[in-house]
Chains A and B, each alone.
Chain A
Amino acid sequence: MTELPAPLSYFQNAQMSEDNHLSSTVRSQNDSRERHDHGSERRRHGNTESVSNGRAPSSSQQVVEQEEEEDEELTLKYGAKHVIMLFVPVTLCMVVVVATIKSVSFYTRKDGQLIYTPFTEDTETLGQRALHSILNAVIMISVIVIMTIFLVVLYKYRCYKVIHAWLILSSLLLLFFFSFIYLGEVFKTYNVAMDYISVALLIWNFGVVGMIAIHWKGPLRLQQAYLIMISALMALVFIKYLPEWTAWLILAVISVYDVISIFLLLDLVAVLCPKGPLRMLVETAQERNETLFPALIYSSTMVWLVNMAEGDPEAQRKVSKNSNYNAQSTESESQDPVTESDDGGFSEEWEAQRDSRLGPHHSTAESRSAVQDLSSSILASEDPEERGVKLGLGDFIFYSVLVGKASATASGDWNTTIACFVAILIGLCLTLLLLAIFKKALPALPVSITFGLIFYFATDYLVQPFMDQLAFHQFYI
């Protein structure tokens, strides 16, 4: 089995979680190899090249390196197509976020901060503000690390039900609660009178269809649309609740962390730590033969596993191989504590409420793995011959946060927004090119976020005054 059959992509599971922080890595797969090679399945061949958050590289790399003879042509040819395939969802997500920011003032109003960023930025001196934002960023990142370790522990001790429940819960919250708030704010902005009954019906339908599309079966486009909406909602929450300097710092640190985590993982697994936690997880996953993996790997493959379990042994074998691979990648992903606050940007009251009712929950690595798998669902094509690309939902969210923040707070306004947008797209292009070359999991965040940040600050402070003056005098360059 080389590629996932078309129905598989159709049934892909998309799980969104609050962990937007998932750094995404790009994994490339070799199509032609897959066709002739069962083992190639381990590389997650099938319809998608995955962009997972860093963790996968270690496992995927080992697995992938088994099949080195790739058809470079095919890779390149597919590479360009994948770039385009990725442009559309990323662009859509950004467009939704920017449109909301521009029209709904709720998301630019300061209504407090997340509990993960306890230090305020309304200080008297600049130095104090810088210190506070650094502390905030540090706290966020450490929360992410802790969450990831927690997830790893959960996985190791086979608390699958907990993880599964957590993932379902987080997507429930996102689909119902956040979209309810969003709808309410949109109505307020446009002064639309609405009754509770209609709203209840709307939200109920939206949420239930979303849950089904994401966690079960549904048309691919619907899944993709829901994922985009969810990423946009998440990004909006981040834009609202993260103070300025903290947000920029977090973006920068996360992309750096992404790179570090990927290469560290590679080193760890390959050379330094034969018994490192990641390796342990991977091996454990393999031992367990991932029949239980579906609980953790909310991936398209998992769904396929569920569907095909009654099928022929050949299919089962393939499935188990895939799930092995997925498990590995998921595990490696869970190791990667790149997620931002796992509260997913929920407000404090909500956090408290949730905790009181359900006990402390964290949505990190699982959601990340889910998200990672989710991203695959976005891009898997229905043509078994075609390889898709996977991009972690965390990437969507961070790109949108960057562009949204640019449109919300930049003095250059649209110029800055567009500059950041182009910069991010070019970064994505470059990342995919690198993916085509290196053919292993790569972080998708660093290049784009770096470009985006550079262009944001440069456009805001350098280009904007220039263009402003030019437009005023009606000079054209």
Chain B
Amino acid sequence: MTLCAVKSQLASGETARPGQAFFWLVSLLFSSLIWFTTATLIGNKDEPREKYLLIFGVLISVLIQEMFRFAYYKLLKKASEGLKIINPYEKAPSMRLLAYVSGLGFGIMSGVFSFVNTLSDSLGPGTVGIHGDPPQFFLNSAFMTLVITLLHVFWGIVFFDGCEKKKWYTLLVVLLSHLLVSALTLISPHYGLNLVLAYVIMVLMGVWAFFVSGGSCRSLKLCLLCQDKDFLLFNQRAR
């Protein structure tokens, strides 16, 4: 009972986000551990081998991230069940909200870790691409980080919904699209291509997440035209 109580706190929306961020960190830790041990085991430092090792690390990391997303879903589920047992009358945060928050936590953590060092370097003196590398390094970093963050949010929503409704193919699709996006970045330095494709995937995911979380064309139209009675101040006057 107390264990459920403990977990139920996790279920509350506020603590879900840092919880998920923490899980992402742990997944990153494990994947870099694997990469590191493999690298030291293999030993020699020639250039293509390092690259292959890195690619291997990337793929493993994606797998582990999705695994941890699933683990977090399980944890949240147990927690909200525990909360329901303790307090059947209080409305627990909905799984959709938790999915959004956890996806956001994942995304923020992932984005921050990818980008913050680059950002701090960009303040310093230097010239981008002075050795012949593409000069759009920072721009690419920024946009890629943005798309990854948004993708994580959408993946979170879709993933949790798939788990809730036991549609396991959803999980597979999320995993595959994550792998696809990561693999696309492996073809850099052709930044343009992978960026555009990533954005396309993001838009598709976004649309899917929107429909999964209960939106519809009609509700979108109402919202945009400010006629949504449930959303805006319409309700306040009525009540």
Is B33's CB under 8 angstroms from A462's CB?
yes
Closest residue to B1 on the A side, CB-wise? A72
Indicate whether B175 reaches chain A with its CB closer than 8 angstroms: no
CA distance A75 to B111 in the complex (A): 35
CB-CB under 8 A from A414, the residues of chain B are: 116-117, 120
> Would you call A462 and B2 a contact (CB within 8 A)?
no
A36 at the interface (CB under 8 A from B): no
In the complex, which residue of chain B has the Cβ closest to the Cβ of A427? B22
B171 within 8 A of A: no
Q: Is A84 an interface residue (CB 8 A)?
A: yes
Cβ–Cβ < 8 Å partners of B29 in chain A: 455, 458-459, 462-463
A474–B185 CB distance below 8 A: yes
Q: Quick check: is B162 within 8 A (CB to CB) of the other chain?
A: no
A356 interfacial contact with B, CB 8 Å:
no
Our pick among B14, B57, B182 for the contact of A84 (Cβ within 8 Å) is B14
Instruction: Give the distance in Å from the alpha carbon of A476 to the alpha carbon of B58 in the complex.
Output: 8
Residue A433 lies at the interface, judged by CB distance under 8 Å to chain B: yes
Specify which chain A residues have a CB less than 8 angstroms from the CB of B87 in the assembled complex.
73, 76
* Across-interface contacts of A256 in B (CB, < 8 A): none
Residues in chain A near residue B14, CB distance under 8 A: 80-81, 83-84
Q: Which residue among A437, A466, A469 has the maximum number of chain B CB atoms within 10 Å of its CB?
A: A466
Hey, which bits of chain A sit against chain B, CB under 8 A?
72-73, 76-77, 79-81, 83-84, 87, 412-415, 418-419, 422-423, 425-426, 429, 432-434, 436-437, 455, 458-459, 462-463, 465-471, 473-477
A436 to B14: give the CA distance in the assembly, Å: 16
Q: Which of B121-146 contact A (CB under 8 A)?
A: 137, 140-141, 144-145
CB-contact partner of A413 in B31, B54, B117, under 8 A: B117
Give Cα A266–Cα B50 distance, bound, in whole angstroms. 55
Least CB separation from A75: chain B residue: B5
A–B complex contacts, Cβ < 8 Å, 18 sampled: A72-B5, A73-B90, A76-B8, A76-B86, A76-B87, A79-B9, A83-B14, A84-B14, A458-B29, A462-B32, A466-B31, A466-B35, A467-B113, A473-B54, A473-B188, A474-B141, A476-B181, A476-B185
Point out the residue from B2, B86, B141 that lies within 8 Å of A73, measured CB to CB: B86
A contact patch SS: helix
Name, among A413, A425, A467, A473, the residue most crowded by chain B CB atoms within 10 Å (CB to CB): A473
Contact between A425 and B137 (Cβ–Cβ < 8 Å)? no
**How near does chain A come to B36, taking the closest CB pair, in angstroms?**
5
Which residues of chain B from 36 to 53 have a CB within 8 Å of any chain A CB?
36, 50-51
Cross-chain contact B32 with A463 (CB below 8 angstroms):
yes
Contacts of A437 in B (CB 8 A): 2, 5-6
Q: How far is the CB of B108 from chain A (nearest CB, A)?
A: 10
**Given the complex, which residues of B lie within 8 Å of A426, measured CB to CB?**
18-19, 22
Tell me the bound Cα distance from A473 to B133 in angstroms: 11
**Known contacts A76-B9, A476-B182, A477-B110; A413/B22 CB under 8 A:** no
Choose one: A76, A434, A467; the contact of B114 (CB below 8 Å): A467
Instruction: Kindly state the separation between the CA atoms of A79 and B9 in the bound complex, as whole angstroms.
Output: 7
In the complex with contacts A76-B8, A437-B5, A429-B15 CB distance below 8 A: yes
Task: Name the interface residues of B186-231: CB closer than 8 Å to any CB of A.
Answer: 186, 188-189, 191
Q: Contacts of B99 on A, CB cut-off 8 Å?
A: none
Separation of A278 and B141 alpha carbons in the complex (Å): 58
From A436, A455, A467, A469, B9 is in contact (CB under 8 Å) with A436
Q: In the complex, which residues of chain A have a beta carbon less than 8 angstroms from the beta carbon of B55?
A: 475
The residue among A418, A422, A434, A436 with the most chain B CB atoms within 10 A of its own CB is A422
Assess whether B109 is interfacial by the CB under 8 Å rule.
yes
Say yes or no for B21: interface residue by CB 8 A criterion.
yes
Instruction: State whether the Cβ of B118 lies closer than 8 Å to any Cβ in chain A.
Output: yes
- B residues apposed to A, CB below 8 Å: 2, 5-6, 8-10, 12, 14-15, 18-19, 21-22, 25, 28-29, 31-33, 35-36, 50-51, 54-55, 57-58, 61-62, 65, 83, 86-87, 90, 109-110, 112-114, 116-118, 120, 137, 140-141, 144-145, 148, 181-182, 185-186, 188-189, 191
Q: 3 tightest CB-CB pairs across the interface, nearest first?
A: A466-B32, A80-B12, A477-B61
CB distance from B130 to the nearest CB of A (A): 15
In the bound assembly, the distance between CA atoms of A79 and B10 in angstroms comes to: 10
Q: Are A470 and B137 in contact (CB under 8 A)?
A: no
Beyond the given pairs A84-B15, A474-B140, A476-B185, 5 more chain A to chain B contacts, judged by CB atoms under 8 angstroms and listed by A's residue number, are A73-B90, A423-B25, A475-B55, A475-B186, A477-B114
A388→B62 CA distance, assembly (Å): 40
Contacts of A415 in B (CB 8 A): 113, 116-117
State whether A473 touches B182 (Cβ < 8 A).
no
Docked complex Cα distance between A473 and B57 (Å): 13
Which residue of chain B is the closest to A79 with respect to CB atoms?
A: B9
Choice from A418, A469, A474 contacting B113 with Cβ under 8 Å: A418
Partner of B54, one of A79, A80, A433, A475: A475
Q: Output the nearest chain B residue to A462 by Cβ-Cβ distance.
A: B32
Q: What is the CA–CA distance of A352 and B25 in the complex, to the nearest angstrom?
A: 46
Contact A466 B188 (CB under 8 A): no
- Is there contact, CB below 8 Å, between A475 and B25? no
Contacts of B185 in A (CB 8 A): 474-476
Residue in contact with A425 in the complex, picked from B18, B36, B186, CB distance below 8 Å: B18
Q: With A and B bound together, what is the CA distance between A76 and B7 in angstroms? A: 10
Q: Chain B residues near A467 (CB, 8 Å)?
A: 28, 32, 113-114, 117
Q: A48–B9 Cα gap in the complex (Å)?
A: 19
Q: How far is the CA of A471 from the CA of B116 in the complex (A)?
A: 10
When the two chains form their complex, are residues A455 and B33 in contact, meaning their CB atoms are under 8 A apart? no
Return the contact of B62 from the options A84, A413, A477 (Cβ within 8 A). Answer: A477
Q: A422-B18, A429-B19 are in contact. Are A474 and B137 (CB under 8 A)?
A: yes
CB-CB < 8 A to B140: which residues of A?
A: 474
B36 engages A466 (CB within 8 Å): yes
Residues of A within 8 A of B144 (CB): 474, 476
Least Cβ distance of A180 to chain B in Å? 30
Contacts of A476 in B (CB 8 A): 114, 144-145, 148, 181-182, 185
Q: Which of B6, B137, B191 contacts A433 (CB 8 A)?
A: B6
Complex interface: chain A residues within 8 A of B83 (CB): 76
Contact residues in B for A80 (Cβ distance below 8 Å): 9, 12, 14-15
Shortest distance between the CB of A379 and any CB in chain B (Å): 16
CA distance A396 to B83 in the complex (A): 31
The reply to whether B114 and A471 contact each other, CB–CB distance below 8 Å, is: yes
Closest Cβ of chain A to B156, distance in Å, is: 16
The reply to whether A433 and B51 form a contact with Cβ atoms under 8 Å apart is no
Nearest-neighbour CB distance to chain A for B114, whole angstroms, equals 6
